[in-house]
Amino acid sequence: MGERRFWYAAGLVGLALLIVVWRLRAVATPFVLALVVAYLLEPLVALLETRQVPRGPAILIVYLALGLLLSLLWVSVVPSVVAEVDNLARRLPSQSQQWNAAIGEMLGRLRLHTLPEVVQNALNAAVGRIEGMLTGFASRLAALLVSTLSQVLNLILTPVLAYYILKDRDRLAEGIVTVIPASVRRRAVELALEIDRTLAAVIRGQLLVSMSIGALVAAGLVLLKVRYALVLGLLAGLLDIVPYFGPVAAGIPIVLLSLANGPWTAVWAVVLLVAANQIEGALLQPRVMSRSSGLHPLVVIAAVLAGAELAGIFGMLLAVPVASVGRTTLLFFLRPAAGGGPAPSPPAGPPARPAAPAAPAAPGRGRRGGQRPH
């Protein structure tokens, strides 16, 4: 009775907390970002702790190494990316003429220049729509960079909050555990550990896979001599976090910008994207992600669409982790009903204890008496 009431209350508190965070998302943003940063940096801090480095200095060492890496990237990569984004935004109108010429050349080679006028108009309209989409993307990306720089307070608060979360992790965990009733404390800790393992596979693994895919696509585009290779590689890495839809959305501008170098360059760009997708599915994900989300593709697609409807691009990014946590939680509570969980073992223990003292008491006096019937 007490256990069921606790889980009902925990569910209601969790739902209320999500609603509060959503309603106060402007205030909660640095705290949520700090949780994400702390979660990602925890393995590095734990690794230093195994080398006999105290936790506080270990966090500072990780911060220092991360700051040096970000400074190096800022000096070497960010100016090139910003210059490419600006150049792309200025060249898009003239770039569309090259796309039209390249598409016309491809259609001529395929002897499809006698297409009906309706089909030709639809093709021209599609090219115009794609051009407008890319122009809007470039302007939104520039606006995103400006808004990111304007959120200086959040950028300063996030590492500070993450430091205290990492440093006081054990104290925070003990504070939460002491609130949980003793009768359900063991199962609550087991559920938290399973959720932690699921998030570790989905978030950390997918982040590393996406970075690898972005670097691979950028290197391939550099070899193909496609302009804006850094921007397109960064876009491919960021959108790769969104399953199914992300690679397709990143592939459209990559192929279109490759058309400026000729139709064969666009064909090789498609080959590059397909090869990157195969490498991700066959090599990177099985090796990097220790445990997958375990979600069916239909569930993943439904979760991504629901996240996009509720919170836009951020909802799409959070859809798979949230759905994975929901699956882990559901399986955890269904396991005892199926008879395979650890929960049924505690009730079986106490009945054996009263029987143990009773057994020695009876034969204590009556060894000889036990022989009377014989």
| Average pLDDT of span 146-154 | 60
pLDDT reported for residue 63 = 94
Q: Is pLDDT at 106 greater than 70 in this prediction?
A: no
**Every domain of the chain and the residues it spans:** 191-336
pLDDT reported for residue 238 = 84
Q: Report the range of poorest mean pLDDT among 105-114, 139-148, 288-297, 359-368.
A: 359-368
Q: Is pLDDT at 110 greater than 60 in this prediction?
A: no
From 179, 241, 211, select the one nearest 9 (Cα to Cα): 179
Q: Report the range of poorest mean pLDDT among 84-93, 161-170, 258-267, 325-334.
A: 84-93
pLDDT reported for residue 151 = 63
Higher pLDDT pick, 25 / 174:
174
Q: Is pLDDT at 90 greater than 90 in this prediction?
A: no
Question: pLDDT for 318-354, tens place per residue?
Answer: 788 888 888 888 888 888 644 444 444 444 444 444 4
Higher pLDDT pick, 287 / 32:
32
Question: pLDDT for 238-277, tens place per residue?
Answer: 888 877 778 888 888 888 778 778 778 888 999 999 999 8
- At 230 the three-state DSSP class reads helix
Q: Is pLDDT at 197 greater than 60 in this prediction?
A: yes
CA dist 243 and 251 (Å) reads 13
CA dist 54 and 48 (Å) reads 8
Q: Output the six-digit token pair for 322.
A: 């949230």
Question: What single-letter DSSP state applies at residue 111?
Answer: T
Q: How confident is the prediction for the chain on average, in pLDDT?
A: 75
Q: Do residues 103 and 259 make contact, with C-beta atoms less than 8 angstroms apart?
A: yes
Q: Is pLDDT at 220 greater than 70 in this prediction?
A: yes
CA dist 258 and 201 (Å) reads 34
Q: Do residues 227 and 257 make contact, with C-beta atoms less than 8 angstroms apart?
A: yes
Q: Report the range of poorest mean pLDDT among 48-57, 240-249, 278-287, 298-307.
A: 278-287
Q: Output the six-digit token pair for 334.
A: 């269904």
In whole angstroms, how large is the CA radius of gyration of the chain?
Answer: 29
Question: What single-letter DSSP state applies at residue 349?
Answer: S
Question: What single-letter DSSP state applies at residue 342?
Answer: S
The percent of the chain in helix, strand and coil, each rounded to the nearest 5, is: 85, 0, 15
pLDDT reported for residue 163 = 92
Q: Which amino acid is at 45?
A: V
CA dist 333 and 299 (Å) reads 20
Q: Residue 192: which H helix or E strand, with range?
A: helix 182-199
Q: Buried (b) or exposed (e) across 310-325, using 16+ Cβ within 10 A?
A: eeeeebbbbbbbbbbb
